[in-house]
Amino acid sequence: MSQKVDLVLHGVQIALTVNKKSEILRNVSILIKDKKIVDIISSKQIDSFEFEKLIDCSHHLVMPGLINTHTHTPMTLLRGIAEDVDLQGFLEKVWAEEARIMNEKGTYIGAKLGALEALLGGTTCTLDMYLHPHMVHKGAVEVGLRHAIGPVFFDFEGPDGLNWEKRIEYLRNWQNVINEIGGAKIPLVAQPHSTYTVSPENLAQVAKISQEIGAIFNTHISENQKENDDVFSKYQKSPTKVLSDINALDNAVFAHAVKLNDEDREIIYKKEVSLCHCPGSNLKLASGAFEWKKAKDKGINVSLGTDGCSSSNDLDMFNVMRQAANLAKLINEDPAAVSVSEVVRAATINGAKTLGLEDLIGSIEVGKEADLIVLDLDQPHLVPSGDPHALIVYAAGRSDVVHVLVAGDPVIVDRVPTKVDKDFILTEARNHIRQ
Ligand SMILES: [Zn+2]
């Protein structure tokens, strides 16, 4: 009797597996059942299987969905409001506009817009950070994104009006909130904003609870020199050392990490902290250049992120891959500073590792959930395909993505979202910013 599966990506011209050897497969069919990849076969063997649905991929490249490990999805609504200013000037403008439109409704609308932009551009999973995280999560999950987020912490009352005790309560109850919303599997996350907005005592409290409940401790670190100088003048140490001295590095993720010293990198390596490189945001705010090669050579896990649309203007992870690759080559004056397969790994399996999901997503391997994207290769800029990793990093773009699966569910088919109405989301977003 033939085996029955839910979905087949059939006749895949090129599959970037991003398995341990970064193998490239050709003319294969990927079989999906109950969310998971159950087999990868030669396309000729398809007759031995029954299937509910088949997607022809004979002119296509299939790869793991991109994983954006640092963004502020609802900030899509703040696109273009703070241009040609540095980080501090940017924060002033952004915080004023947030007070005006980013209430619960605004974050929900912005999250849907951001999740739709992400998915249409081949990003299947996001580590997000924003106020009113329950509304952000609800919006993103409704669109179909695998979406990790958690309560945010500042010492002061943020625009959400929550005091410290309420924030702590929010974190302790977070598992219930995400269970109720549903969606693809994600880790718990606690999100103290930074060492310049949260005191060491409060950071230590969040770290302790995170360890108790098994949450990721996700924060901004050393984004530019001024941040380091401010933190140093307060505590006479670097942001990384502030966290290290209060034992806040278990299961930690640092966004940006542009201005690290060798001691910081040593601490980060020993504590297995993941770093999220956001080249677009760092370039545009002139924050500096993350030293990817140094981090990589040290053995630190490095994944990629867009940051919010207020600083980097879009959620395009293809663009981020290219920026990150070129930036590493430029600052090292070495074209071999990062290889094309390392760049693809940073945008996929390394992101999964950042989220503690490396056994679940991030590569095309039997047993993993099918978070996969399908790109149309019949485009002048993708012919000839040459080295497929280079094709993805240096030639392909998000508009080449035609189908997107999250946990085996086709959430984008032929560039159209299947769970939400695109026009409705666009209208809702335009109306909200006018209020
Ligand atoms: Zn950020």
Domains of the chain: 3-64+369-417 (2.30.40.10), 66-354 (3.20.20.140)
pLDDT at 389: 98
State in Å: Cα 32 to ligand 1 middle. Answer: 35
For residues 316-328, average pLDDT: 98
Helices (H), 102-187: 104-120, 133-143, 164-172, 174-181
Q: What is the 3-state secondary structure (H, E, C) of 306-333?
A: CCCHHHHCCCCHHHHHHHHHHHHHHHHC
State in Å: Cα 209 to ligand 1 middle. Answer: 22
- Which amino acid, residue 134? H
State in Å: Cα 265 to ligand 1 middle. Answer: 20
State in Å: Cα 22 to ligand 1 middle. Answer: 30
Residue 432: phi and psi, rounded to 5, are -65, -40
Cβ 326 vs Cβ 289: under 8 Å: no
| Mean of per-residue pLDDT scores for the chain | 96
pLDDT at residue 276 above 70?
A: yes
pLDDT at residue 1 above 60?
A: no
State in Å: Cα 307 to ligand 1 middle. Answer: 5
Residue 312 tokens read as 């980097």
171-196 exposure pattern, b = at least 16 Cβ within 10 A, e = fewer: beebeebbeebebbebbbbbbbbbbb
pLDDT at 299: 98
Read off the pLDDT of residues 134-166 as tens digits, 9 standing for 90 and up. 999 999 999 999 999 999 999 998 778 899 999
Count of alpha carbons within 13 angstroms of residue 117, beta-carbon side: 26
By CB atoms closer than 10 A (0-12, 13-18, 19+), residue 420 is middle
State in Å: Cα 311 to ligand 1 middle. Answer: 9
Read off the pLDDT of residues 91-128 as tens digits, 9 standing for 90 and up. 888 888 888 999 999 999 999 999 999 999 999 999 99
Say how far apart CA 226 and CA 30 lie, in whole Å: 49
Report the share of the chain in percent with pLDDT over 70: 100
State in Å: Cα 70 to ligand 1 middle. Answer: 6
State in Å: Cα 220 to ligand 1 middle. Answer: 6
- Which amino acid, residue 307? D
For residues 198-216, average pLDDT: 98
Say how far apart CA 74 and CA 154 lie, in whole Å: 18
Structural element, H or E, at residue 26? strand 24-33
- What is the band of 312 on the pLDDT scale with cuts at 50, 70, 90? confident
Is-above-0.95 flag for pTM? Answer: yes
